[in-house]
A = this chain, B = another copy of it.
């Protein structure tokens, strides 16, 4: 097994290489895409894709286009999320947000092109050298489903529509399931699909993803009130400023921390469906629980 750091380096270099290489008339667009894509994110989603593929006994390199695709979808969603007509955030990961550097028009188009590129790389001849067309179709379909109208984007709409409305816990759960967990599910399921896993294993990976996804969102809500702007790379207290219901506002911090523990344990239990060494995925679940940004 490769260690997590090796995989992260592999992802960084692949992401950069998937951007068009050379000088183009629309260079500003490519620069803007690169600005947000190569921003030193944690690369959790693509790492999950690679780790699950390897866990299924297939060389993780085969899953690299799918890993990078899910990171591109995540990146495009952040670019659009930061726009003035959405969350209106000037900073992301301690750097100016895309539209503050390139303008709202280019930022909008940059997100659009990033989504197209995600599908392009999953369906390219190069990806298909290592993966059957059946697997490529199934993996790309999985991502399209989880990132779209009843997935990630749907979750963002639920988020927007419930601002200032004191949404209850059911709405919050549906929102986070779609807004956050859906893309993590896509990452884990795609790794299993490329790895040729059984339906039972794909379901277990999806359960793992659900648990760490919801835990991830709760930790985000906790950090928004307990962290510093420096650690977080963005202003703290923004949920409160925006009058949003969060796990913390509905359940309180102690109950939230308990919930994160329970979900992390559930995630680790889901890994029992796999025969190989699941240490890296266990460690990842634990590190997400204990993160400070």
Contact = CB atoms under 8 A, between A and B. Distances in A.
Interface of A: 19-20, 24-26, 28-30, 33, 76-77, 80, 83-86, 103-106, 108-109, 111-113, 115-117, 119-120, 123-124, 128, 132-134, 136-138, 140-141, 144-145, 147-151, 153-158, 160-161, 171, 174, 178
A123 B123 CA distance: 11
Contact of A153 (B113, B140, B148): B113
Contacts of A150: 20, 24, 26
Given A26-B161, A123-B140, 14 more contacts: A26-B155, A26-B157, A26-B178, A76-B112, A80-B109, A83-B85, A84-B85, A109-B156, A113-B149, A113-B154, A123-B137, A123-B144, A132-B133, A133-B133
Given A85-B108, A105-B86, A157-B109, A171 B25 contact: yes
Nearest to A145: B120
Contacts of A24: 150, 154
A25 to B, nearest CB: 5
A29 B158 CA distance: 9
Contacts of A147: 116
A29 B154 contact: yes
Contacts of A85: 83-85, 103-105, 108
Given A144-B123, A158-B25, A108 B108 contact: yes
Contact of A119 (B119, B154, B171): B119
Given A33-B149, A112-B80, A128-B137, A119 B144 contact: yes
Nearest to A106: B157
A103 B157 CA distance: 12
Contacts of A156: 109
Given A108-B80, A133-B134, A144 B120 contact: yes
